[in-house]
Amino acid sequence: MNDPLLCIDRGNSLCKIAARQAGRLRLLQSIPGQEAERIQQAVRHHVQRLQPRAVVVSSVVPAADRQLKRSLPGSLPVYFIRHRHIRGIINTYQPAEAIGIDRLIALSRAYELSSAACVVCDFGTACTVTACDNDGRLLGGMIMPGVHTQLSSLSNRTAQLPAFTPFRPQTILARTTRDGIMSGVFHNLLAATRLALKSAGPGTRSAACFLTGGWAGLFAADLAEADPPCRHEPLLLLQGAADIFDRSFA
C-alpha cells in the first residue's frame, strides 16, 4: 500500500479531496465544482502539506482534468482512472464507455465489499442507481435529476417558487410552498429509488445496497428499511479510487 495517497473525486457539483494515510481514508475538503481556482489552490495546499506518493483522480468533468494536472508538481505521479482500469465488474453498458466512470468506481468498491450482487444509489447532481449481479455483471441502472438539480430547476424556471437548502420533509402533504416543493422532490427520488431496487431482478434480492453522494444523508433513514436495506457509505467512490490505484497503478 503506497501511502500517503491523495484521492480526488471531481464531480459536477462538488470536488472532494481525501487522503489515505496508514491505510485509513479521510475526507479533507469538499469544494463547489464551479470554483476551479479554489480547487487548484486546495489541491496544491494538500500536496504540499501531505507530500503524497501519488494522486489518483476520478473525474466526470474532462474539461477540468488538464487544469487539475497543471496545479500539481510535474514530478508527482497523477493517475486518472479510466474504464479500462475497472476490475471485477463486467461492463455491459451500451456503449461501454458511456457509463460514468464514477458509477463504475463506486460499484466496483461495493462489489468488493459485498462479494455478491449489489446496488449503488448515488445522490449527487444526478441521482443514479447502478446494479450488478453475483458475478459482477452490470445489470444497468437509472439516472434522474438530483435533489439540488430539481430544486434549482423549479426556482430558476418559475417566477414565485423559492430557492432554499434541501432538507428531509416531515410530511408528504405540505401546507407551505417550501415544504411542498421539498416533499415532492424528496418523495419523487425516494419512490424512484425504491422502484429501481425492486426492479433490479431476482439475482439481487439479497443484494447489498450502498448509499453515497452529497445528498445521500437525506434518504439514509428511509432506505435503511428498503428491500434490500441500504447502508450509507459517504466515501464509497473515493475508497474505490484508492483500491483501483493499488491494483492498477501502484
Domain residue spans of the chain: 5-80, 86-236
Q: 87 with 247: CB under 8 angstroms?
A: yes
pLDDT at 2: 67
Q: How far is CA 236 from the centre of its chain?
A: 7
- Would you mind telling me the total number of residues written for the chain in this entry? 250
Same fold, 5-80 and 86-236: yes
**166 class by beta-carbon count within 10 Å (0-12 exposed, 13-18 middle, 19+ buried):** middle
Structure confidence at residue 226 as a pLDDT band (50, 70, 90): confident
- Whether residue 175 is predicted with pLDDT greater than 90 in this model: the reply is yes
Grid cell locating 94: 451500451
Catalytically annotated residue among 9, 65, 102, 135? 102
Is the pLDDT assigned to residue 25 strictly greater than 80?
A: yes
Q: Average per-residue pLDDT in the chain?
A: 93
User: Using one digit for the tens of pLDDT, what is the confidence trace for 47-97?
Assistant: 999 999 999 999 999 999 998 888 898 899 999 999 999 999 999 999 999
pLDDT digits (tens, 9 = 90+) for 177-221: 999 999 999 999 999 999 888 887 555 556 889 999 999 999 999
In this structure, which CATH number among 3.50.50.60, 3.40.50.300, 3.30.420.430, 3.30.1330.10 belongs to the domain 5-80?
3.30.420.430
pLDDT at 81: 98
The yes-or-no answer on residue 102 being catalytic is yes
> Does 228 sit behind a cis peptide bond, omega within 30 degrees of 0 on the bond before it?
yes
Report domain 86-236's class. Answer: alpha beta
Contact 244, 86 (CB under 8 A): yes
For the chain, the C-alpha Rg in angstroms (whole number) is 19
Q: How many whole angstroms from its chain centre is CA 26? A: 15
pLDDT at 177: 96
Closest CA to 14 of 122, 119, 172, 113: 122
pLDDT range class, residue 15, cuts 50, 70, 90: very high
